[in-house]
Structures are given as C-alpha cells and as structure tokens.
Amino acid sequence: MRTPGTAWSPDGARRRKASCVDTERGSERGPGHLLRRRAQKATGPVRRTAGPARKALLFGCAAALLAGCASMPDSGDVTAVDQSPRSEGDSQVRVYGVPPQDGAQPTNIVRSFLDATTSDEADFRTATQYLAKSAKRTWRPFQVTKVLQERPKPEPKIQPNREDVNGYTVTLSGSQVATVDDNHAYTPEEKPYRQTIHLIKEGGQWRIDRLPNGLVLGLSDFQRIYRSVNKYYFASYNSESEEPKASRNVLVADPVYLRQRIKPITASVEALLSGPTDWLNQVTTSEFPHGTRLASHDLALDDSNALRVKLSKEAVNTDTAQCKRMAAQLFFTVQDMTRASKISDVELQDNSGNSLCQLSQEQAQQDFTPSPRAGRPAREYFIDGDHKVVAMSDTATEPTPVRGPFGTGKTPLRSVAISRAENTAAGVSSDGRSLYVAALEDGTGRGGPLLTSAGPAKSPDEGLTAPSWDGLGDLWIADRDAHGSRLLRMREGKGDPEEVAVPGLGGRRIKAIKVAADGIRIAVLVEDKGRTTLQLGRVERGGSSAHPVLSVQELRPIAPQLEDVVAASWAGGSRLVVVGRESGGVQQMQFMETDGSASNAQTLPGVNGVKAVAASEDETRPLIADATEGIVRLPPDANWKTVAKEGTAPVYPG
C-alpha cells in the first residue's frame, strides 16, 4: 500500500518524485498519473476551475514529464522512501509559476501573479516578471504575509475592459485569518481583507506597477508552503537570575513559520540568528553575539547526520561554554526543522572552517533539553473516588495511592498539582477555599492551609483555581470570586503568596492557569461576559533581586476560534492541548501552537463530556482526561481507554 507523502522506488534507490502541483486545486501530476489528488489540509471548498496560468502550469508539467524530466524504473524490489529533509533540495513536490502570456488582460495578469507567488522559487523570479520596472525595484515580498481563508479574489474596480489614462485597477478581497511578520512570527487576525493592485501598459503588455508589499496567500497554499518551526532561546529571569533555582540552561521554544522547501536548514538557522520574536524578546536571550551571521548559506546534514555551521567573525571570540550554548540553540532549532532525522552532533566553525566547539546529541539531551524531566519518567496522577491522590505509570492498569497525607483520603480535594520533581503535592480543598502543600513521603503531616481564598466559593468556578508548578519549583494559583480574580505565586511552594500583576486582564476574570516548565509563559483561561477563552501571557520579573516584582504581560489568544474553552494543558515546547467548542458547535479536543496557529499534530479521537485534560511536555506520553466514562487515557496511535470509572482532576507533574 502506498502511504500519503511517501514515494516508492522499485530499484530500492531513493528517488525524488518529479511532480507538478495545481496550486489552486491542491493536486499533483506525477509519473504514470495524469492527475492525482492531494489531501487538502485546510477547510473550505475545492475550486473546480483553473485560470490560463494554472492550465499552462499543468500542461507544462505534463509536457516536461513526457519529455523525460522524470522516469520510473521498471524492475527491482519495492522499498519505502522517507521524507527526511537531509539536504536543502530534497523535497517531494516542487511548484513553479509560469511567465506572463502575451496579450493577457489585467485581471488575468493579477491572477497569474498570485499563482506565481505560491511557487517554490527562492527569489520569486517568475512573479517579478508580472511587475513593471518601477515595482520590481520597490516590491518587498518578505515584509509581511497575509493569510486568507481562501485565495484572494481579483475583481476589476471599474467595469471590465474599461481603461483610464492611468491604467487599470484590480481589487483583491477575502477573509483574513492571520498575519506573518518579517520576523516570521504568526499572529491570528480575523478581519476582512481588501487591497488594490494597479496596472499599466509597458512595452504593449499589462504589468503591475503598484501593489502592497508582502504576500497574500490562501490558507491551503500557506500550509503547503510554510511550516511551523521552533527556534530556541535561553530563559532570562532578570531580577531572579542569580537565584540557585534559575538555571542558565533553560531553553524556551519560539515558534515561527518558514518556507519548508527553500533551504529549510539554512532558513531555520538564519531565523535563529535574527533573534527572538517580539513577544518573547523581553524574557529570553541568545548566546550568539549581536551581528553573528552565516558564513556559508547552503547548510545540510552530512551522511552521519552531523551539521557543520560556519559563522561570521562576531562568533569567533566566544569561550567554550558560550559556544556550546550557541550550539545547543542551533541543535534544537534545526532538529525541530529536520524532525525525521536525528542530528548526531553540531559543530560551529569560523569562516575558514576551524572548529570553535562541538556538541553531540548526547550532550545536548543531557545538558540542554528544553523540557527536562527529573530522574525517572513522570507518572500520571488524579483524585480517585475515595478522595485519594493516586498515581500510575503509562503501562499500569491500576492506580496506587501516593505517599504522604494526600494518599490517605482524609483530605477531600477539588484539584491537585504535583511538583516537577514529584516530591511535593499542592491540593485545593473540596470547598475551593484552602490550599495545602505536603511532601509525598510517608510519615509527613498535612499541616495548615498555605492560602485561604478571600471570599466564599459558591460555585466550582469560584474560590481557588487548580495550582500549577513551574520548573523553578514555584507554585502558582489564582483566587477567584464572582467579580474578579488575582494571580498569586508562592516561592518554592512554601513562601508567602505574592500577587502577580496581570495588566492586560482588565475587567475579565481568571478561571484556570497552567504555567510552562520554563516559568516564562503561562496559559490562562479568561472569562468575559460568559465567554471563556485561552490566553497566553509572558511572565516578566522586574524589581530587584531582594524584592522581585512579577507581572504577566501581553496576553494573546491561543485558540481564537473557540469561544468556550473548558480546559488546556501544555503538550510540548510550543504546543497545548485544548478542549472547547466553536460558536454553535460541539465540544472538541485539539492541539494548538502558542502563537495561535493550528498544530500539525495528529487529529485527536473524540471523547464525551471532557471536564479536564492533562498532557506531558514529553510529546510521546499519553493524554489523560476526566470525561463522562471516568478517567480515560489516550496512548500514542491508539484510542481512549478507561482507567478508572470514578475520579477527577487528572494531572502530570507541573
């Protein structure tokens, strides 16, 4: 059976499919196939018509294939060919535009120009053939990318075939869903799109002389051309950076969108060297000296999956420790781009090829893993029907009570959080008013409440939220009432509660929180006039080392299409699993990226009545949820299975 995205070579050799894609209809022409459909990644109708440029593209591809640009061997064994992006040119499908046709009318020129901007040309050479000389000098295609639900519709601004002395104007319209800026950062932005393109006659042919900078793409084209990649930078704890808990080796994922067929490894390294995106710039740092550039622009993994990177003179005078931290940033960034190939090691070199430092895969995983796990693999936890906090491993069929006072059932709890070292638990009483912290050790007592809610908890949405531990060992929680809420932090889970300002919250109310392992990002469920949304905030640490002042800045939506979010949990460096529903829709569970874009992770099977969900930041671990059937677990590549018919508040450490 031929699986999607896999080429098969009868002679056992790795071959690249010579295929041409109808970018409007999302289909492929390949050897032995007149027309093969390609799976649509985006929702929306499939258009059944093709303009002259798209027809020319298809016929040109067919002619090229018949002329012998691709051939299929006719003997040998059948073997699978992987999609590993080992080299810059190794992509399965390439898309190219066609030059303008003589005598083409303005609307067709604009339509064909838009087709050409979806090609796999690094410099948009074909697209610029549609521009007048003045526009060729001024058009900046990488300044911004507008992503629309469907391809923009070019329409004459005035009556068809009517010209004026200044030329011809065509209007582009559509429904915008997002923007990608010149630093590759994705931002959800739903609004109507409307821009004009002006054409003049140059040498007797219509050409575009005025147009907006940047690209405008339909969602299906955007998903084909671009790929979400995590860049990695070190967390900067500012006023708390000198505390022992604040490791200097905590890497934070910074997602960006890069063109996946145009020198992907080189593009990911160049994006890393350009620095963090604006949203993370205040709380992360790069070890690369300012101004560091690539000295070689054709990066690829060698036969041993090693990566050699030549850098400009700015990186030459770094010491070994700094150089290895630079290599760690580069290792995890490129590894995220080349997910199908495990990088064996990274070597940084000067412009002459002399080695500056080398970092092996083992060293990177041991010293710089973005989501480190303390000792043994983390277990799964929940509160069972007898009010005990219980734990189980991935393979266990029966949970067992935890050690310490929370495993006895004598303290009924509404919610629980386990520290990332799995040696301490924090629990909120069943009435939602009291927070207790206790060691997960035999012979320890519960003690008095560390925090008591300021008001009565008249409903499950009032009182204290479920607590959350960050990777620094600090405990976070929110205190809610019907009129507002306040966010609190307790250092190491035992200090006095410190209020954390959330200036972007306004009159909205916090319903739940989940802090990332890095302590730099926090996911917040926010209620506003009956609508609950998921927001991501940036934790900034100001003040002095003796008196740090924390705040959560620049809340931004993670799942803007969902208007009733029930639960969310971190599920990777830049990914969360979210439970909610769209307006008028049914409840759904899906992965979302922290920039608000849909994750390319697998679609999750449905499960009824989910009230809570937990995921591990180790993406290979199963999901667990509190659903109608009880506590259920979803192992990778499997279906939901019930592990306990009674239970609530499933969590992983964190």
Q: pLDDT-derived band of residue 163, with 50, 70 and 90 as boundaries?
A: low
Considering the domain architecture, whether residues 321 and 362 belong to the same structural domain is answered as yes
Considering the domain architecture, whether residues 214 and 273 belong to the same structural domain is answered as no
| Region of residue 530 (left: phi > 0; alpha: psi -120 to 50; beta: else) | left
Q: Which helix (H) or strand (E) holds 264?
A: helix 264-273
Tokens 């054409």 sit at which residue? 199
Q: Is residue 2 part of a domain?
A: no
Considering the domain architecture, whether residues 494 and 457 belong to the same structural domain is answered as yes
Point out which residues pair with 310 in neighbouring strands: 349
Considering the domain architecture, whether residues 570 and 643 belong to the same structural domain is answered as yes
Q: Is residue 396 part of a domain?
A: yes
Tens of pLDDT along 28-66? 333 322 223 333 333 333 333 344 444 444 343 333 333
pLDDT, average across residues 421-441: 95
Q: Is residue 205 part of a domain?
A: yes
Tens of pLDDT along 505-537? 988 999 999 999 999 999 999 999 889 999 999
Cα–Cα distance for residue pair 503/505, rounded to 1 Å: 6
Q: What are phi and psi of 331, to 5 degrees?
A: -55, -55
Tokens 């609190």 sit at which residue? 488
Out of 206-220, 346-360, 442-456, pick the least confident: 442-456
Q: What is the per-residue pLDDT for 459? A: 80
* DSSP assignment string, 589-631: EEEEETTSPBP-SPPPPP-SS--EEE--SSTTSPEEEEETTEE
Considering the domain architecture, whether residues 296 and 216 belong to the same structural domain is answered as no
User: Looking at 321, 346, 368, which one is the last position of a domain?
Assistant: 368
The CATH number of the domain holding residue 390 is 2.120.10.30
Q: Is residue 530 part of a domain?
A: yes
Tens of pLDDT along 377-405? 679 999 999 999 999 988 777 899 999 99
Find the farthest-apart pair of alpha carbons in the chain and give their distance in angstroms, rounded.
Answer: 91
Q: How many domains does the chain have?
A: 3
Task: Tell me the two tokens of residue 231.
Answer: 């860049």
Q: Is residue 374 part of a domain?
A: no
Considering the domain architecture, whether residues 329 and 433 belong to the same structural domain is answered as no
Tens of pLDDT along 319-340? 999 999 999 999 999 999 998 7
Considering the domain architecture, whether residues 59 and 85 belong to the same structural domain is answered as yes
Q: pLDDT-derived band of residue 97, with 50, 70 and 90 as boundaries?
A: confident
Q: Is residue 373 part of a domain?
A: no
Tens of pLDDT along 581-594? 998 889 999 999 99
Cα–Cα distance for residue pair 39/135, rounded to 1 Å: 36
Tens of pLDDT along 268-300? 999 999 999 999 999 999 999 999 999 988 999
Do residues 302 and 347 touch, judged by C-beta distance below 8 A?
Answer: no
Cα–Cα distance for residue pair 517/349, rounded to 1 Å: 32
Q: Is residue 152 part of a domain?
A: yes
Cα–Cα distance for residue pair 26/44, rounded to 1 Å: 12
Which of 186, 266, 279, 191 is CA-nearest to residue 227?
Answer: 186
Considering the domain architecture, whether residues 341 and 394 belong to the same structural domain is answered as no
C-alpha 141, offset from chain centre: 23
The CATH number of the domain holding residue 245 is 3.30.300
Considering the domain architecture, whether residues 345 and 393 belong to the same structural domain is answered as no
Considering the domain architecture, whether residues 543 and 608 belong to the same structural domain is answered as yes
Considering the domain architecture, whether residues 239 and 334 belong to the same structural domain is answered as yes
User: Looking at 207, 226, 245, which one is the last position of a domain?
Assistant: 226
Considering the domain architecture, whether residues 498 and 578 belong to the same structural domain is answered as yes
Q: Is residue 116 part of a domain?
A: yes
User: Looking at 345, 368, 391, which one is the last position of a domain?
Assistant: 368
Residue 331: domain span: 232-255+262-368
